[in-house]
Amino acid sequence: MEGYVYTVKRQLPPRFAEFVSLAHTVAISIDLHRGHLSEDPDCPCPAPRARDVVEGVNRFHVAARRLGVPVIHVRSTLRAGGVDDVNGVPSAWRITFPLHVGDIPNAGAHALAGSRWTEFVTEVAPGDLIVDGKKRLSAFYPTDLDFLLRNLGAKRVVLTGCMTDCCVLNTAFDASNLGYRVTVLADLVRGTDETLEAAALAMISLHIGVVADSGDLLAEWRRAGAGVRP
Amino acid sequence: MEGYVYTVKRQLPPRFAEFVSLAHTVAISIDLHRGHLSEDPDCPCPAPRARDVVEGVNRFHVAARRLGVPVIHVRSTLRAGGVDDVNGVPSAWRITFPLHVGDIPNAGAHALAGSRWTEFVTEVAPGDLIVDGKKRLSAFYPTDLDFLLRNLGAKRVVLTGCMTDCCVLNTAFDASNLGYRVTVLADLVRGTDETLEAAALAMISLHIGVVADSGDLLAEWRRAGAGVRP
Amino acid sequence: MEGYVYTVKRQLPPRFAEFVSLAHTVAISIDLHRGHLSEDPDCPCPAPRARDVVEGVNRFHVAARRLGVPVIHVRSTLRAGGVDDVNGVPSAWRITFPLHVGDIPNAGAHALAGSRWTEFVTEVAPGDLIVDGKKRLSAFYPTDLDFLLRNLGAKRVVLTGCMTDCCVLNTAFDASNLGYRVTVLADLVRGTDETLEAAALAMISLHIGVVADSGDLLAEWRRAGAGVRP
Amino acid sequence: MEGYVYTVKRQLPPRFAEFVSLAHTVAISIDLHRGHLSEDPDCPCPAPRARDVVEGVNRFHVAARRLGVPVIHVRSTLRAGGVDDVNGVPSAWRITFPLHVGDIPNAGAHALAGSRWTEFVTEVAPGDLIVDGKKRLSAFYPTDLDFLLRNLGAKRVVLTGCMTDCCVLNTAFDASNLGYRVTVLADLVRGTDETLEAAALAMISLHIGVVADSGDLLAEWRRAGAGVRP
């Protein structure tokens, strides 16, 4: 199958079968909730470029479910009251990101449990799994994602969502370190801007795993798996 | 003090004092050992661009020690026999990186405990601390680095070493998630190439912490601390 | 102040001040929910002896809040559908505990998210903190308890709840390993039976921290702190 | 096969086959080094009762290796200089255990890297695996034991060593939480005294896994496996 190496799309050698095999694969969608995607001026942590992937992620999830691939939706949630962040050790992005994008007026409301900002924009089907309580950049921290993947018997993860150059990249690093084979879908992730998005995908392709388009991965799954998941 | 935001050097606002304060700061140097830096053709995981920072890192460490900042040297070590990697779940980079740089003939010898490849190229002073057993990309996994930082009472870490777009970046993500304030020294880290190095530093400056030159940080420490470390 | 050493109540030497100081202390109550305490024959994981501590824990929490000590309530919750346990890698207790107590008819319903079994029996005050998603024996796994304690700046934890010889003991081990000073309140924890409860407290007193009565700890806090929490 | 339930030896039901199967099983020996077992009056952390299991553990390891079961030896090691413990956040046992056993004159030398106290008393064969850097009570903290077990593809662990009521028990809790099936060999572990040893084994049998005699486990392995390890 084809994947991106650095920024060039190429045929991947046979050894990559262990990354893109259908068996024991889990799809993980990162932070596609209103807190990043809302068009409301009060959106507490805007990632507007990622609105473009919502429909594609939904379509990918439909296909994944049909092939028996579990779908996990990860979302950031912080305890109301701020103890986890603004009143504890504040997340670094609150201090650094405004240097680049300017003041974020409603950032204090980001990810607060029970608020509308934690609602998923993507479709969550019955049988999908939710990982709540992502509190920093990695989907693994401090959540039960690794625990869940162990209980699912997962060996491979396929990542979508936002943002490519922070939470997706950090999650890809952690998943790879933990021994999972990682694929990131280039058409279903979005970064801060085109430059950092492309650079993050290049890093992933060099150090972490497969960067591919969702259509190519689904074609590979269908070819190899014929719809049967061991 | 000045730092890089995205790629532009700017004056940082006062709030960044909590990142660059001298107190409770630890310097962490990542993977500056022969396995990456040797000029031997058998070098198992070459990162030749990082040879340029060895002298600068040594000078920074001399200054840090004088100011009472503990210096930690992290290195990759894998059990002889390969159970941790080539005969277990092989590191992803062994499969992905050759797509970009071509075959790495002696990669199987990378980081093997007891081999010369694990010897530090930078100077290790008496009183410095060593974190052995980095086995994947992050200096935190599966090592005792977080345990050590807790016992040191560390609140801030300053990162140097290689490579900016994989191990340094992954370590910066993890340190920030764990609540440490992170500074990465732009002149004392090196990446795969100039493009990915610059992109990784831009990501760090937007999402994780301070990117600065070592001279500026030392000047800030001397100005603020007057050599006294609380 | 007095504490239990093995099974004997004795005056503790001055060095134990660092365990029982009021400052940076957090009270943690473990698994005092309907899933363990309900008198319903359908109770999925009965710990009937622990019903006796509910009132005492409530009183202790009232006093703790007055002294400015944050109160954390930990509870087991498992995803509906069973993927975390009965349909994943089943918890060992499901297999081992019935050898001793006989078949537990409704064990499959234990801790299911959204069920009444996850409701706290103890009083949860506004401002208290909840740690959801304990899924095995330790309150730290796979939860955000350590993350929360870091954000609270906690140095000391005081444990109550059930059961002394499994979840309380496992939590005490983990907290101590992570560097928190641990006190377990002998009158506010209950074990499987008197023998294992006494033995678990003896182990804690020898290897982990302070075992004391709640009245003695509160008296110590009032004496030392005079109600002011640094 | 037979195991102990609470303190009574009984036939275990068929479901326990998943605990005592030979496949994907790893033997883990905990802290059988000179720092605990030496008869020298300077022994920094004496566990004299555990001297009795050294020969039995050696014999068990010989049999395990013949059946293809990897043998892991875990040992405590602390950085020379004391930063990990006496000069950091001192281990709780240093403060609590002397209340019971009296002053331990040379405790400061416990587990110091490079000292004779870290030498194994049990036989370490070529091909055995060593986990260094246990720094508190659990063999998992802050070591790479879980990482190693993942790379070995382990599903089951068999624990021996000392002491039953602290490090063995804490390790058994952690291994079980992480999803490994745990067996503790009653004849090859020793506790602080007979009472706490028996109580710890009872707790393990009720909440964590199988408590059995090594002869019974080896007979089961030979019966089932006929020497072939999948």
Q: What is the pLDDT of residues B173-219, one digit of tens each?
A: 999 999 999 999 999 999 999 999 999 999 999 999 999 999 999 99
d(CA A136, CA B182) in angstroms, rounded, equals 14
Helix (H, G, I), strand (E, B) or coil at C134: strand
> With contacts defined as CB-CB under 8 Å, which chain C residues touch B179?
150-151
Token digits of residue A73? 């939706």
| pLDDT band at residue C224 using 50, 70 and 90 as cut-offs | confident
Average pLDDT, integer, range B89-103 = 97
- From the list B84, B82, B70, the residue with the least C-alpha distance to B142 is B84
- Per the CB < 8 Å rule, is C143 touching A144? yes
Inform me whether the pLDDT recorded for C161 exceeds 60: yes
Of C89, C150, C151, the CB nearest to A150: C89
Domain layout of chain D by residue ranges:
2-224
d(CA A24, CA A229) in angstroms, rounded, equals 8
> With contacts defined as CB-CB under 8 Å, which chain A residues touch B174?
138, 174
Inform me whether the pLDDT recorded for A129 exceeds 90: yes
pLDDT, residue C226, reads 58
For residue C91, which phi and psi values (nearest 5 degrees)?
-50, 140
Inform me whether the pLDDT recorded for D228 exceeds 70: no
Average pLDDT, integer, range D148-169 = 98
> What residue in B sits closest to A12 (Cα-Cα)?
B99
Token digits of residue B86? 């080539």
Of A79, A148, A151, the CB nearest to C129: A79
A84, A91, A94, A145: best mutation site toward chain C, by most C Cβ within 10 Å?
Answer: A84
| pLDDT band at residue A173 using 50, 70 and 90 as cut-offs | very high
Token digits of residue B187? 């002149």
> What residue in C sits closest to D202 (Cα-Cα)?
C196
CB proximity A151 to C under 8 Å: yes
Is-contact B29 B65, C-beta < 8 A?
A: no
> In the complex, which subunits touch D with 3 or more CB pairs below 8 angstroms?
A, B, C
C57-69 pLDDT per residue, tens: 999 999 999 999 9
Strands B71-76 and B129-134: parallel
B141-157 pLDDT per residue, tens: 999 999 999 999 999 99
Of A150, A178, A179, the CB nearest to D179: A150
Inform me whether the pLDDT recorded for B162 exceeds 50: yes
| pLDDT band at residue A157 using 50, 70 and 90 as cut-offs | very high
Inform me whether the pLDDT recorded for C209 exceeds 50: yes
For residue B130, which phi and psi values (nearest 5 degrees)?
-115, 130
Would you tell me which residues 35-74 of chain B have a C-beta closer than 8 angstroms to some C-beta of chain A? none
d(CA C212, CA C216) in angstroms, rounded, equals 7
CB proximity A99 to C under 8 Å: no
Cα of D86 vs its chain's centroid, Å: 24
Helix (H, G, I), strand (E, B) or coil at A64: helix
Token digits of residue C23? 């400052």
| pLDDT band at residue B224 using 50, 70 and 90 as cut-offs | confident
pLDDT, residue D225, reads 66
CB proximity B148 to C under 8 Å: no
> With contacts defined as CB-CB under 8 Å, which chain C residues touch A127?
81
Average pLDDT, integer, range A39-49 = 96
Chain B nearest-CA distance from C154, in A, is 12
| pLDDT band at residue C228 using 50, 70 and 90 as cut-offs | very low
Inform me whether the pLDDT recorded for C42 exceeds 70: yes
pLDDT, residue A118, reads 97
Inform me whether the pLDDT recorded for C230 exceeds 60: no
| pLDDT band at residue A58 using 50, 70 and 90 as cut-offs | very high
pLDDT, residue A229, reads 46
Average pLDDT, integer, range C210-230 = 83
> What residue in C sits closest to D137 (Cα-Cα)?
C177
Inform me whether the pLDDT recorded for B230 exceeds 50: no
pLDDT, residue A230, reads 42
Inform me whether the pLDDT recorded for C118 exceeds 60: yes
Which residues contact residue B84 at a Cβ distance below 8 angstroms, ignoring those fewer than 6 apart?
B78, B135, D144, D147, D148, D151
Q: In Å, how far are B124, B184, D19 from B217, measured between CA atoms?
A: 21, 10, 55
CB proximity D178 to A under 8 Å: yes
Helix (H, G, I), strand (E, B) or coil at D46: coil
Which CATH homologous superfamily contains domain D2-224?
Isochorismatase-like (3.40.50.850)
Token digits of residue A56? 């594609």
3-state secondary structure chain B: CEEEECCEEEECCHHHHHHHCCCCEEEEEECCEHHHHCCCCCCCCCCHHHHHHHHHHHHHHHHHHHCCCCEEEEEECECCCCCCCCCCCCCCHHHHHHHHHCCCCCHHHCCECCCHHHCECCCCCCCCEEEEEECCCCCCCCCCHHHHHHHHCCCEEEEEEECHHHHHHHHHHHHHHCCCEEEEEEEEEECCCHHHHHHHHHHHHHHCEEEECHHHHHHHHHHHHCCCCC
| pLDDT band at residue D224 using 50, 70 and 90 as cut-offs | confident
C10, C99, C182: best mutation site toward chain D, by most D Cβ within 10 Å?
Answer: C99
A117-127 pLDDT per residue, tens: 999 999 999 99
Return mean pLDDT, chain A. Answer: 96
| pLDDT band at residue B225 using 50, 70 and 90 as cut-offs | low
Is-contact A216 A2, C-beta < 8 A?
A: yes
> With contacts defined as CB-CB under 8 Å, which chain C residues touch D182?
92
pLDDT, residue A227, reads 45
Cα dihedral sign, A114-A120-A124-A128: negative
Would you tell me which residues 1-20 of chain B have a C-beta closer than 8 angstroms to some C-beta of chain D? none
What b-and-e string marks burial along A115-133, b requiring 16 or more CB atoms within 10 Å of the CB? bebbebbbeeeeebbebbb
Helix (H, G, I), strand (E, B) or coil at C28: strand
